[in-house]
Every structure is written in structure tokens, then in C-alpha cells.
Amino acid sequence: MSARARETSHQHKIAHPAWTLVMSVAASSLSFIDGSILNVALPAIRASTGASAAEVQWVVNGYTLPLAALILLGGALGDHHGRRLWLVIGVALFGAASLVCALSGSLELLLAGRALQGIGAALLLPNSLALLNGAYEGEARGKAIGTWAAAGAISAAFAPLAGGWLVEHFGWPSIFYINLPFVAVAIFVALTRVEEVSDPGKARLDGGGAALATLGLGAATYGLTLWSEKFALTPTATVSLIAGAVLLLAFVAYERRLKEKAMVPLALFGNRCFTSLNLMTFLLYGAFGGAMLLIPFTLIEAGGYSPIEAGMSLLPLSILIGGASPTMGKLAERIGPKLPLIFGPMVVGAGLVLATRIASSQAYWTHAFPAILVMSIGMALAVAPLTSTVLESVNPHQTGMASGLNSALSRLGGLIVVALLGSVLAAKGDALLHPFAIAMVVMGIVAALGGVAAYFGLTGDGRRTDKSHAKE
């Protein structure tokens, strides 16, 4: 019996698929919560640790870098050795790292904890979704994944509010303790209610590629972070950028040599639709991720908001995206994904430009909320059809790789944008408003360019995609 047949047979023996859903929601919520709760706490972290702008950037990117670079390797390890095993390892590592962050007495220890959290997230995220995908079939699978996505949206919606309350009453270290109940539930359910699944024939254990990607992205991000603080190329920044470029070129050459065994098979990018949608993902999520960092940061630093008020200010965004996405998804099914994927990023770009109206001593409903509303509409237009269109652009046996790569690029976009925000994060009080406005305009243009990429990459209405260049 083939490995795939054994896997399919094994999946049918899972007695309680609902437990797999519970485990997947608990595990993946760690990443959703952590990604949105930290932004509200950054001003408090900077104030209590005396962090520079570059160090504030690394509090965010110390997590995003290993997550973006290692998420594909995390999925391959699960395929090869067992998805439940590597999910439990990832969740346990994330929990231990959260304790390190909460108990850290120095900025250096906090940054080390954040990096460990990123590694844990890179292991747990692909394997939680793979286990969930294997536990259900047909319409039940769609419903389960919809429940998983909704739970993630709800977690992301309420995390800033909870984080703001925790920061106000117990200090910023308390935001990391909120992860521990999710860690406990995910590990307990995984070990007692979820059966192991593996598919060694599907695994791409590309350790060399993962190492080159991590080192290259790390060096490039460090160089960009140093450059962005004063927009000056110091010797250290120059060396870091050159080293990053060399390592990333080495990564491309290494992946080309491995061909279909590579962590990132370069043949996928011969598909115009796949390439353009991933470029759109990189641009859109980079701009949106930068906005989700800067808006609460500016509301607190320049607008006089408390952490809990800044958390509440973002609540409509997650609620609107979560609530409107199913409707937008049905609309995309009816008219095709091309128009939503073109206009969604452009609407997000308009919302980012509208956010330049945020200023000190201004009412939330007249200055911040309109921008959040427009961004929500644009993201709801784009998010629903994006994943399905990416998966339809490749051959069926490549869907797991395509999904993982698209997820990695969404985080890579945020990594690069955050690395470029040094001059904004260095400012305080009203002096923050001018660089904030410039950054929002630039990110608005970047988001809109995502719509341009979709326009040139999708043919017709986007329902039929060109797979002629996708290699077997």
C-alpha cells in the first residue's frame, strides 16, 4: 500500500474529528493572538525597557523572521515524522518561549523569547491545518476550515482589547501569559484525542534551503532596520545588506539545483497567475501589517489613547473582516475572483491614505474609524478569494506547497515593511504624526500595487487559471 493510501486509510479511523478542530483552533490561535496583541503593548515595552526604534522593530520581527523562513520546513517535518508530533513540539516551544518573554528581565531575553515563539509558530501552524484538513472530507471539511478561520478572526479581534486591559492593569509581561491556556488545551487534546498522520513521500526536508533563507532574510532585515532609522547607509548596514543579498542569491541557486525536492520549487513561479497572486500577497499583507503596527502605536504615542482604548479602536476591523468575508467569498464565486482581487487591495490602499487624518486630540469616530472601515472592506474583498485562487492556480499535488508559500510571503511582506519603519518608530508625541502620515501614504501605494499585480496576472474573470507552466 502506498504512503498516500496508508494516510487516507488512517484518516478514516479518526474517531473524533471534532477534537482535531478544537486542537487546531487552540494551536493556531496562539499565532493569531500573538500577532495582534503585541502591537498594543509596544509603547509600554519601549517605555519600560528604554528600547530604541531598531529594538522595537526587532520585538516584532524577531518573531516574524523565523516564522516566515521556517514555515515550509515545519510542514515538511510534519509530513515526514508525524504532523501531531511536530505540532506538539511547536506548541510546547511556543509556550516555553511565552514564559521566557513574560519573565524576561532584559530586552535581550525578550528578543530571544520572541525568536523562539516564531520557531514554534512555524512548526505548529502548517501542521495544525494539515491535521484539520485530513480529519474531514467534502462539505464537512469546508465547514471545519470555515470554523477554524472564524475562530482565528475572533481571536485576532478581541486580543488587542484583552491586551490593552492587561497592559493597563498588570503591565506588558502579562500579555504573554494569555498564551498558556491555549498551549495546555492544544497539547492535551493532541495527545489524547488526535491520531498521528504522516506522509513521508510528500516531505521536502530542505534544511540547507531553510538555513540560507533564515540567514539571508535575517541579514537583509537587520541592514534595512539600521538604514531606516536615519535613512543613512552605515558600514554595518551596508555589510548586512550585501551579506543578505549574497545569501538570498545562494538560496535561489540552491533551490534551483534541488528542483522538485526544494523547499520552494522555483518551477512554480513559471506560472504567471501563481506568481502575480503571491506578489499581490506580499504587497498587500506587507502594507496591512505595517498599518496594524503603526495605527495603535500612533494612537497611544500621539493621540493620548490608553492601551485598552487603542485595542478597542481595532475591534471593528477584525469584526468587519470576519463578518463580511463569507459574503465576499460568495460574491467572488458568482462573478469570479478577478475584480475582488484587483479592487480589494486598492480599497485597502485608500483606507491607508485616509488614515493620515489621524492626529492628536481628534475624535476616533471622525478620524480613525473611517480609515479602519475602508481598510476592512478592502481586506474582506481580497482575503476570501485569494487563498482559493492561489490553490486553483497550481496542480492538485502542489496545493500544500502553494498554500504554505503564500502564507510565508504574507509574513515576509510584514517583515520587510516593519524593518523600514525605523524613522517613524523613533519619533514621539506630535513629532510622530508627520512621518506616520508619510508612511501611510507609501503603504497605501504599495497595497494598491497589489491590485495592479492581480490585474496583470489573472486572465478573464479569474475562474480559469493558466497551469501550463506548473511543473509536475
What is the pLDDT at residue 12? Answer: 43
Q: Residue 130: in which H helix or E strand, if any?
A: helix 107-135
Q: What pLDDT score was predicted for residue 465?
A: 44
What DSSP string describes 418-462?
Answer: HHT-HHHHT--GGGGHHHHHHHHHHHHHHHHHHHHHHHHH--TTS
- pLDDT by 10-residue block (mean), the chain, 472 residues: 46 66 88 83 90 90 92 87 92 96 92 95 88 78 73 77 90 92 93 84 80 93 91 92 96 89 84 92 94 92 90 84 73 81 95 92 87 91 81 74 84 93 90 94 97 87 49 42
Give the per-residue pLDDT at 203. Answer: 66
Q: 12-30: per-residue pLDDT in tens? A: 445 578 898 899 889 888 8
The DSSP result for 27-84, as a single string, is HHHHHHHHHHHHHHHHHHHHHHHT--HHHHHHHHHHHHHHHHHHHHHHHHHHHHH-HH
Q: What is the pLDDT of residue 469?
A: 44
What local confidence, expressed as pLDDT, does residue 28 receive? 85
Cα–Cα distances (Å) from 25 to 68, 187, 355, 370, in that order, read: 20, 12, 32, 31
The pLDDT score that the predictor gives to residue 32 is: 78
**Predicted pLDDT of residue 118:** 93
What percent of the chain clears pLDDT 90, i.e. is strictly above it? Answer: 46
pLDDT at 415: 92
